[in-house]
Structure 1
Amino acid sequence: MGLPLVDLLVFILYLTAILFFGISFYFKKNRTTNDYMTGGQRIPSWAIGMSIFATFVSSISFLALPGKAYLSNWNSFVFSLSIPLAAFFAVKFFVPLYRKINSQSAYYHLEERFGSWARNYASICYLLTQLARMGTILYLLALPTNALLGWDINTIIIGTGLFVIVYAAMGGIEAVIWTDAIQGIVLISGAIACLLLIVASMPEGTDQIIEIGRDNNKFDLGSFNFKFTESTFWVVLFYGFFINLQNFGIDQNYVQRYMSAKTEKAAKRSTWFGSLLYIPVSLLFFMIGTALFAYYKTFPELLPSTLGNIIEADKIFPYFIVAELPKGVTGLLIASIFAAGMSTISTSINSSSTVILTDFFKRNNKEFSSKNEFRILAISGIIMGVLSILVSLAMTSVKSALDTWWALSSIFSGGVLGLFLLGFLSRKIKKIEATIAVIIGILVIAWMSLTPVFVTSEKWILFKNPLHTNLTIVVGTIVIFLSGFLLNILLHNKNNGLI
């Protein structure tokens, strides 16, 4: 399907404007690496809040959530319901901690508590998680572009990835945050416009959408049974709480935003604003997916047969945008999705570069010239960008981008949250106890992640992980946390002659 000239011009002009806006921060006078990593702590709280929101949304939410709702139900929306509790812990404990430490690295605290190995472990896990995240977003960016121009998805991924690398290597966190703020406003407006258009296109309006959705169990949040082998309400809720606690507590993307705010109070305000805004917006995306299901159920002749299967579910919304939206609006919405994805990837590249510089190069108070620091940041960003392209190319054969991203983020997190909680909640836990606890946690995570893939024989079925994949981060965190405390009790008792 070709793109009308008006939409193509809007797409190019909007994308070009966003690109040059981001690059413009590179040419600011007297720019330092502190400006690159924290924006000089002069960014207003509302912009940081919109950036936190945009970090949640990106193209993963804009495309994968409607695809998920279209394919199944609202079970994944339970993830959003876990955010307020995680945000409370962030505002109560994490923001004050990082503002007090005053380090650009989220993992400096772990080195203070347990030594350099803990910081290295957390940093490596973070970088792996970002590769999975960037790869997923690049793949989801390729879907609407493929629907627009008919180009090969692999070619789009490579071209987009290289384009974003240039943008990310120059902009810095200040450009990322301001670009996120603009994209957040445009994305919300575009999503509302899409839902209103679908409702207006239905012969019986909202009532028909609700009726079709109810008849096909589209509003189902999942089973409330305490069954942990399937994606029940509780499995998604526990997963959401732990992954969001990790986001707010140890994710460099968020920590850099805490440090970019003018004051601690402003950082807290930004966290509440960005996190709570995501809940109604994610609900909007799920409603769009259900509305699309009702729309194509009512007008099946409008949906190509190739998009009606499971593998193509993530392409449903992009197809609707291209085929049904008015001229001009299509180009603007596609451009905003594309630019939001670029902005989110640039956030990950910027944060990953910061981690590489602060956690691997500037250790032990090593001094680098500003020129060398910028060089390290740029080269690190390029390497991370290229690796994310390779991950994205591997994503083209998955069933659901959202499920794949959730599984990869859970695995690569590696139980870092458990280690962080050990150091944060107890000053008694020592290095040796934390080290053993992490080793135990990694073994459990490896078992949970690998046995569903490699254990296929009935002979070894008892060794297979029976739990749902999303529980990997939950179990990994709990195992590390409890192991550390139990080891501390045992060693403490032994040292006092009690055992």
Structure 2
Amino acid sequence: MSLDLNLVTEVFPTTFSTISSIEHASHQIHRFTVFDYGIFVLLLGISVFIGIYFGFFSKIKQDNVEEYLLGGKSMPKFPVAASLIATSVSGITLLGVPTDIYAYGTQIWMFMISAVVVGLVMHYIYLPVFLDMQLTSSFSYLEQRFDRIVRLTASFVFALSALFLIPVVIYVPALAFSQVSGINLHLVTPILCVVCIFYTTVGGLRAVVWTDTLQFLLMIAAILAIVILGIVDVGSFAEVWRRADRGGRLIFFGTDPDPTQRTSFWCVVFGLTTNWIAVFGINQACIQRFLAVPTRKAAKNSLKIYIFGLITINSLACFIGLLMYAKYEACDPVTTKQVEKLDQVVPFYVMDAGGKIPGLPGLFIVGVFSAALSTMSSSLNTLAGTIYEDFIRPFRPNVSERSSSTAMKMIVVILGVVVIVLVFVVEKMGSVIQIVVSCTGVISGSVMGMFTLGMVSTRANTKGVVSGVVISISCMITLWISSLGKLHYDYLLLRNDGCDEGILFSLDNSTVTNNSPSPSEDLPYIFRISFMYYSLIGLIIFLVVAYSVSICTGGGKVVDQRLLTPFVRCKDDINCNIKLTVKISDDRLLDDSAKDKI
């Protein structure tokens, strides 16, 4: 959701519905030391330095659109892959995934199947088209395949959803940092945003990719440090597994087909896979990075590293959830009031387990912030490109490349200021955060459908696509709003019968407890369907409507076969009577000058 940003916020709604309460329990958690602050300041300093280097001292200047958005199409494959992973893993992932494993078990860990499927469909369906077309914006594909109305619709929805998500991405880890450091949230957030805006504006994609790479390495270091420390604390990996099994946390193949189940094997494999394809297969930020490498082979290798990294990072985050349960198996910090809400368990665990090792809590919080900064910087860079290419450039057709690059830098600054303001709005919204973030998941099925239908079917047309988007999003909004705030899922058992007497001072007696309400049985069945299926349902509605309307209105016509995925393309120019697929070398992608000669 790694779990993309849209997905995590749907799968772990408790992270948002009660997150404002984190501040109230901060006094119960150890504070940062000077080593922790040192690590944190070092991260910010290096990020600023990278931006300054690529903006002012690098031999390659960010003075045209291709350089600013695609790094001149000469980026090395490992930094691009690391940037992809860092972009897809937010601070919410590192805080929300362990919490979900702690409370609901390991069923979500079957995302490994989803990741493999994402890699396959990217390799065989989406990536070949984007590499052949070599478009700065993935949404420009929709214009060439359908028309400008479809492109602008998709671009607007993407921009709006990103502006809602970026403030949450920053706010959540900032709140965690405020909790463990005692520094006011209102001071932390603007500083982080300004640093991110600076290196994104000055350094362009090159600075974003290299800072993402640094932040990716810090994320790995932080996660590994906590995992190793947690295993040592419990005794062994086997003991962690035994305690998780004893507590009923090891749930991998829950095959109950009931779609109202919060998580099952089927909703993870089908619902989660659909969501991941929508987020990782056609996401502008991801496509932008695949186009930043110089060769087709490098793009495919970056994809392999990307999928492997997603599986690794998310698996480690899942295991941290098991480590937390192993440590608090008989003394849950939520029911003992050591923390007020479930959302606080991860930072509490980090400070509790690693607080005695100077710098370790700081390393983990830096890892969380690294994930947030990488997501924010990539989103700002991508948003700037989308807004300029789709909404501004058509009205400035004769502007120089240097002026275009400058305009995009100004857009980044403006967007950054808007994000800073929205962070403070988010703080006041409380449970509404869940509403804002979950709304983006409602549209992912239709957005995925636009690209998928366009690439695999020659019969789709504009009328069908627009009808599909309108009906799909309308149905999903109705489904989502009707169930909003009414779906509740039981936690697995949380115990406090093994706590020390000092910890139990706030309890009447020692109990085994489950502290979440049961689902609302009086809600109509359709509105009790798990939110993990929303993307899949939206996709199905879109495909049925879009294809049917397209057929009824005369179908479509594809002039350029590069707009179709390879296995759909026509191979016979005599029978097709349309432009044949352009054969592109596996060693070198087409540059703009070569494309103009085709």
Structure 1 counterpart SS, 2:306: helix
RMSD: 3.1
Question: 1:344-423, aligned counterparts within 5 Å?
Answer: 344-363=375-394, 366-389=397-420, 391-393=422-424, 407-413=438-444, 415-423=446-454
Aligned-residue sequence identity (percent) comes to 22
Answer yes or no: is the 8 Å Cα contact 2:101–2:322 preserved in 1: yes
3-state DSSP of counterpart to 1:415: helix
User: Residues 103, 292 of structure 1: CA spacing in aligned structure 2 closer, same or farther, 3 A cutoff?
Assistant: same
Partner of 1:496: none
**Distance in 2 (alpha carbons) for counterparts of 1:404 and 1:462:** 20
What count of residue pairs does the alignment treat as equivalent? 488
For the pair 1:194 / 2:256, whether they are aligned, the reply is no
The alpha-carbon distance between structure 1 residues 485 and 209, as it changes in their structure 2 partners (threshold 3 A), is: same
Write the distance in 2 (CA, Å) between the matches of 1:469 and 1:7.
38
TM superposition shift of 1:349: 0.5
Instruction: Kindly name which structure, 1 or 2, has the bigger radius of gyration based on alpha carbons.
Output: 2
1:417 positional shift: 0.8
> Do the aligned residues in 1 keep the contact of 2:43 with 2:366 (CA within 8 Å)?
yes
Given the superposition, is the C-alpha separation of residues 412 and 153 from structure 1 closer, same or farther in structure 2, using an over 3 Å criterion?
farther
Structure 1 or 2: larger helix share? Answer: 1
Corresponding residue for 2:54? 25
How far residue 237 of structure 1 moved from its aligned partner, in angstroms, is 2.5
| CA 330–22 in structure 1, closer or farther in 2 if over 3 Å, else same | farther
Structure 1: gaps spanning 5 or more residues? 494-499
C-alpha contact 1:296 1:303 (8 A) present in aligned 2: no
Matched, 1:110 2:142: yes
Does the C-alpha gap of structure 1 residues 304 and 430 become closer, same or farther in structure 2, counting only changes over 3 Å? same
Alignment of 1:157-306 (within 5 A): 157-202=189-234, 204-221=235-252, 223-233=254-264, 234-297=266-329, 305-306=337-338
Cα deviations by residue, 1:159-179 (Å, 9 ceiling, x for unpaired): 433332233222211111122
Select the residue among 22, 37, 47 that pairs with 2:79. 47
**1:347-382 deviation digits (Å, cap 9, x = unpaired):** 010011110111111238813233432343123223
User: Distance between the aligned counterparts of 1:140 and 1:343, measured in 2?
Assistant: 14
1:60 equivalent among 69, 89, 92 = 92
2:40 maps to 11
CA distance in 2 between counterparts of 1:134 and 1:225 reads 35
Shift of residue 316, structure 1, vs aligned partner: 3.6
Q: 2:547 aligns with which of 468, 485, 491?
A: 485
C-alpha contact 2:88 2:375 (8 A) present in aligned 1? no
Q: Matches of 2:525 and 2:471 in 1, distance apart?
A: 17
2:506 corresponds to 1:475: no
Q: 1:443-464 deviations in whole A, cap 9, x for unaligned?
A: 21221222223999x9x96596
Instruction: Assess if the C-alpha contact under 8 Å between 2:384 and 2:409 holds in 1.
Output: yes
Which residue does the alignment assign to 1:148?
Answer: 180
SS in 1 for 2:533: helix
Match of 1:72 in 2: 104
Question: 1:4-28: per-residue Cα shift (whole Å, max 9, x none)?
Answer: 2233223212331232123321113
**Aligned amino acid, residue 451 of structure 1:** S
- Give me the whole-angstrom Cα distance separating, in 2, the residues matched to 1:449 and 1:387: 27
CA apart distance, 1:317: 4.7
Unaligned 5+ segments in structure 2 are 1-29, 488-519, 556-598
158, 170, 175: which is aligned to 1:126? 158
Q: State TM-score, norm by structure 1.
A: 0.88
Cross-structure match for 1:430 = 461
Task: Note if contact 1:87-1:272 (Cα within 8 Å) is conserved in structure 2.
Answer: yes
User: Partner of 1:96: helix, strand, or coil?
Assistant: helix
d(CA) in 1 for partners of 2:269 and 2:144?
Answer: 32
Determine the C-alpha separation between the residues in 2 that align with 1:175 and 1:320.
Answer: 35
Does the 8 A contact of 1:59 with 1:137 survive in 2? yes
Structure 1 partner of 2:515: none
Q: 65-74 vs 254-263, which deviates more? A: 65-74
Change over 3 Å in CA distance of 1:206–1:406 after alignment to 2: farther
Question: What residue is the counterpart of 2:339 in the other structure?
Answer: 307
| 3-state SS of 2:89 partner | helix
Distance 1:90 1:245 in 2: 8
Query: Displacement, 1:391?
Result: 5.0
Report the CA distance between 1:276 and its aligned residue: 1.8
1:68-114 alpha-carbon deviations (Å, 9 max, x no partner): 22232223323343011111111112222111111110111111122
Partners of 1:303 and 1:483 in 2: CA distance: 48
Preserved CA contact (<8 Å) 1:143 1:315? no
Q: How far did residue 189 of structure 1 move? A: 2.5
Summarize deviations over 1:224-277 as a string: whole Å, max 9, x none: 211212322222322321122123332111110111011111111101111122
Confirm or deny: 8 A CA contact 2:96 2:343 kept in the other structure. no
Q: 1:113 to 1:10 in 2, by over 3 A?
A: closer
Name the structure 2 match of 1:497: none
Residue 451 (structure 1) aligns with: 482
> In the alignment, is the contact (CA less than 8 A) between 1:190 and 1:333 conserved in 2?
yes
How many Å apart are 1:129 and its aligned residue? 2.8
Q: CA deviation at 1:185?
A: 2.3
Query: TM-score by structure 2 length?
Result: 0.74
Q: Match of 1:20, as an amino acid?
A: F
1:100 equivalenced with 2:100 (yes/no): no
Match of 2:118 among 82, 86, 90: 86
Q: 1:300: Cα distance to partner?
A: 6.4
Cα separation, partners in 2 of 1:207 and 1:426, compared to 1, 3 Å: closer
Distance 1:144 1:473, change over 3 A: same
Aligned equivalents of 1:304, 1:12: Cα separation in 2: 34
